[in-house]
Amino acid sequence: MTVMEIAALPAVVHIREVGPRDGLQNEPVILSTAQKVKLIDLLSATGLQAIEVGAFVRPQQVPQMADTEAVFAGITRRPGVVYSAIAPNVIGARRAIAAGADVVQVFLSASESHNRSNVNMSIEQSLAQVAEMAALVHGAGKPFDAVLSVAFGCPFEGDVPVERVLDLCQRLLDLGAEQLTLGDTTGMAHPLLVQEVVRAFRARFPRQPLRLHLHSARGAGLANLLAGLQLGVDLFDSSIGGIGGCPFAPGAPGNLCTEDVVHLLHEMGINTGLNLPALMATARELERMLGHEVPGQTIKAGICKHLRDREPAL
């Protein structure tokens, strides 16, 4: 690894909100359908252009996602907002299409152990499923995006070779994925590693958009986001309140918190198009729904600009 590279930061960053799926799936409290619909409608009003509504998985595996069809049916869709869903297999893809997901997201792990833990299939078996899903989704006139999990390290196998990550990205693109997301599923990345992987990705796929899905399980989430920004990455996932994680991997809690990410970007002069006070109000409503505090820090500390604008005490 080399020293960190610092290039011109992007002027605009686009956030995909994953709280309703990746956030809630790891919560012991299962929200009602009405609560999930309210949460997504609140998020839709903040300026977000992409929201991950839920996952079409077996209810016995992820009971928090058992009502995803009903959630899709209940939300108020805003023009310009992409409402996506995760599907682990062909059955899930059919359900996602029938429910009206704008984009179907498929996922694959960069390690055999995590892939088997996640979907009980080898990587090759998953790729065969992805090929079937791609044909189904494209046949329905919808795009599919691919998420490559544990791209920066696996909790079962340790380091993941960068070449393996790139080769799997190539195979997903060959199957028709429109967008690729590299996931730091259990928070094993650090800034130098993020830049190593991003540089390698850009060298191999110079015209392919790249999204990063980072976690803060070990406190490095925002540092890793900055590392990506410094190489021009302008697509990121985050979760309202910072809730969530992967239920199929040890040590996985700690999604990047949407309000914290947006606050940092705004402080750096980077536009997100998002209403930060509205996001903070949504995070507080989520706390009331869950019955506990969320990990996010900005709703506790406040917006720096507001603090600066206060009149000095006499």
Tokens 């803060």 belong to: 216
- Which residue type sits at 179? Q
Alpha helices in 66-122 (DSSP H): 68-74, 90-99, 112-119
What are the φ/ψ torsions at residue 89 (nearest 5 degrees)? -160, 180
Torsion of CA 192, 194, 195, 198, to 10 degrees: 160
Any catalytic annotation for residue 246? yes
Neighbours of 42 (CB within 10 A): 17
User: Residue 178 forms beta bridges with which residues?
Assistant: none
- Identify the DSSP state of 8: P
What are the φ/ψ torsions at residue 26 (nearest 5 degrees)? -105, 5
Among 22, 11, 6, 20, smallest CA distance to 213 is for: 22
Instruction: Say if residues 87 and 55 touch (Cβ distance below 8 Å).
Output: yes
Q: How far is CA 65 from CA 29, 128, 214, in A?
A: 12, 25, 22
What is the β-pairing status of strands 144-149 and 103-109? parallel
DSSP codes of every residue in 192-227: HHHHHHHHHHHHH-TTS-EEEE-B-TTS-HHHHHHH
| DSSP three-state, residue 250 | coil
Of the listed 154, 169, 246, 257, which one is catalytic?
A: 246
Q: What is the 3-state secondary structure (H, E, C) of 159-193?
A: CCCHHHHHHHHHHHHHCCCCCEEEECCCCCCCHHH
- Taking the C-alpha atoms of residue 130 and residue 145, their distance in angstroms, rounded to an integer, is 11
The residues assigned a catalytic role are 246
